[in-house]
Chains A and B, each alone.
Chain A
C-alpha cells in the first residue's frame, strides 16, 4: 500500500496551507540552529524533516510551537501568526514532543481528559476510554503514566497530541523506541489522520518511515535546507551526484542521498 497518497475527505478544492514558514532563523546565542528556512505544509499532507542530530529539526518545531522566539522570519499555523496570535495558533496544533512528558502521578484517563480539555475538547469517560482503546491502552486507563513502558508512553503521547483532531500535527521522532507492530499501527493512525485533512510535520531518523509516510521531504543540514521534494524525486534528482554514487551500494536509495547531502558519508 502506498501510504503517501492521501485524499482529503470532501476534497476537490485545493488544500489550504496549515503551516507556512518563511525565512525562519532560530539562534541560541551566536549559534544559528535554523538559518533562513522556508517551507509550507498543506492540509492532508505529511512533510518529513530529515537531518542528522543538531540539524535544526527540533528547533524548527519549537519555533512553530512557540517555545522559542525566532530571531527572524515568519511562522503561521492555519493562517495565524504564532507571534501575533499565539493562542489561536496553538489551538490548531497537536504536539508530540521528542521526549514524552506528562505528570507521572496521573492516570492515563486523567491525562487524556486534561490535555483534551486544555485544547477545548471536552471528553466524558466513554470518550476517554474510546480514545485509549484506539491506541491499545484501554486496559491501562487507570494506570499511572510513570508505570508505562516507553512504547506505551509514546502511544499515549500520540493520542494526547491528536485527540482534538488538530489542523497541524507536529510529531518529533514519534516512533523512537516502538516495536515494529506499534510502529506500523502508528503509521496507520497518522495515515488516517491525514486522510481527514490534518497536515503533519514529522521528524525522523528512519528513511523507511520517511519514505512510507511523507509526501514531501525537507533535508536539513546545519540549520539550512539542503533539498526538498518527494522521496522519489530526491533519489531521481541526486542519483548521478558523485557524493551519492560514492556512498551507494548499487542503486542509490533515499538513505544514500541523505548521507551525501548531510555529510554523513564523510564521517
Chain B
C-alpha cells in the first residue's frame, strides 16, 4: 500500500518511473546535438563501408555493413553515454539527492538504461533509413522487427558492460577513459580498424565472441532474413551470457557512494 502524507501520496514505482523517464527524455532532448553527432558515427561507417563496394554487389553486403555500423553505434551510445552519465550523477551527488526521496533510487538506473536503449533503437532505425534511401535495400517488416529485437539485445550487452565500468570507477574522468578504452577494443574486434583476416586464428576466434561481434553477426543474419543457424543460436547464447555476467557483476558491485563519499 502506498503511503499517504497529508494530502500527498508517495508515488507508486510506476509513477516514479514515469516522472524520472520524462525528466531523462527531456535531458536527452536538450542534448539532441550530441545525440545527432553520435548517430553520425554509424551513418559514416555505413557510407564509408558501402563506398568501397563494387557496383552490383549483392544487398547482403550492404546489410552486413548496416549490422556492423548499428552495433558500433550501440556501443558508442551505451559505453560512452550511459557509463559516463551515471558516474557523473554519482560524482555530482544526484544519486544522494534522489536517495533522500521516498521512491527507490534504483529506478534511476532502470530509467537511464531504458532511455539509452531507446536512443540505440532510434539510431538503428536512422541507419536502416539511410541504407534504404541511399542503397535501395528495403527490409520487410518482419526482418525489421527481428532487427530491432537483436539491436535491443546488443544494446543491453553494451549497457551491461557500461554498468560494469560504472561499478568499477569512482570518477567521471576515469569512467570516460575506461569507456573509451572498451570502445576502442570493441572497434578493434569488429575489424574496422584492422581487417580481421590479417589476425592470427586464435585472436580471430576471440574477436568472434566479443559482444559487439556477436551482436553484429546476429543482426546481419536477421536483416538478411535467414533462419538462424546453429552458429547464430550459439551467438545469441553467447550474447545472453555477456549480458547476464556483466550485468550481474555491474549491479552487484555498484556503489551509490563515490570513493570520497560523493554519491
CB neighbors of B among A108-150 (8 A)? 110-111, 113-115, 117-121, 144
A90 touches B96 (CB 8 A): no
Q: Please tell me if B145 contacts chain A, counting CB pairs below 8 Å.
A: no
Q: Is the CB of B10 within 8 A of A120?
A: yes
B101 on the A face (CB < 8 A): yes
Q: A114 and B100: CB pair below 8 A?
A: no
A102 adjacent to B20 (CB under 8 Å): no
Q: Are A104 and B92 in contact (CB under 8 A)?
A: yes
Asked if B16 is at the interface of the complex by the 8 Å CB criterion, the answer is yes
**A175 sits at the interface (CB 8 A):** no
Q: How far is the CA of A242 from the CA of B10 in the complex (A)?
A: 52
Chain B residues near A165 (CB-CB < 8 A): 6
* Residues on the B chain within 8 Å of A97, using CB: 93, 96-97, 100
A102–B101 alpha-carbon span in the complex (Å): 13
**In whole angstroms, what is the CA distance A173 to B23 when docked?**
28
Per-position 1/0 for B5-47, Cβ under 8 A of A = 1101111000110011011001100110000000000000000
Which residues on B sit within 8 Å (CB–CB) of A105?
27, 30-31
On chain A, which size bracket covers the interface? 35 or more
B23 touches A87 (CB 8 A): no
Contact A120 B9, beta carbon cutoff 8 Å: yes
A120-B102 contact given A67-B96, A95-B97, CB 8 Å threshold: yes
Cβ contacts under 8 Å, A99 to chain B: 93, 262
Per-residue interface assignment for chain A, residues 63 to 90, with 1 indicating a CB less than 8 Å from any chain B CB and 0 otherwise = 0011100000000000000000011101
CB closest residue in chain A, given B6: A165
The smallest C-beta distance from B221 to any residue of chain A, in angstroms, reads: 38
Which residue of A91, A110, A115, A118 has the most chain B CB atoms within 10 A of its CB atom? A118
Interface pair B19/A120, CB less than 8 Å apart: no
Residue ID in chain B nearest A101 by CB atoms? B93
The answer to the question of B103 belonging to the interface, with a C-beta cut-off of 8 Å to chain A, is: yes
Whether the Cβ atoms of A114 and B93 lie closer than 8 Å is: no
Once A90-B101, A103-B94, A114-B20 are accepted as A-B contacts, the answer to whether A119 and B89 lie under 8 Å apart by CB is no
B30 contact set on A, CB distance < 8 A: 105-107, 144
A259 in the interface, Cβ–Cβ < 8 Å?
Answer: no
Q: Which residue of A lies closest to B88 (CB)?
A: A104
Which listed residue, B3, B31, B263, touches A91 by the CB 8 Å rule? B3
Instruction: Tell me, yes or no, whether A224 is within 8 Å of chain B by CB.
Output: no
Instruction: Assess the B8–A119 pair: CB atoms within 8 A.
Output: yes
Least Cβ–Cβ distance between A27 and chain B, in angstroms? 14
- Closest-by-CB residue of A relative to B28 is A105
Q: A104-B92, A113-B19, A117-B16 are in contact. List 12 more A-B contacts (CB 8 A).
A: A67-B263, A101-B94, A101-B96, A103-B23, A103-B89, A105-B27, A106-B30, A117-B19, A118-B20, A118-B102, A120-B10, A144-B30
Please list the residues of chain A having a beta carbon within 8 angstroms of any beta carbon in chain B: 65-67, 86-88, 90-93, 95, 97, 99-107, 110-111, 113-115, 117-121, 144, 164-165, 167
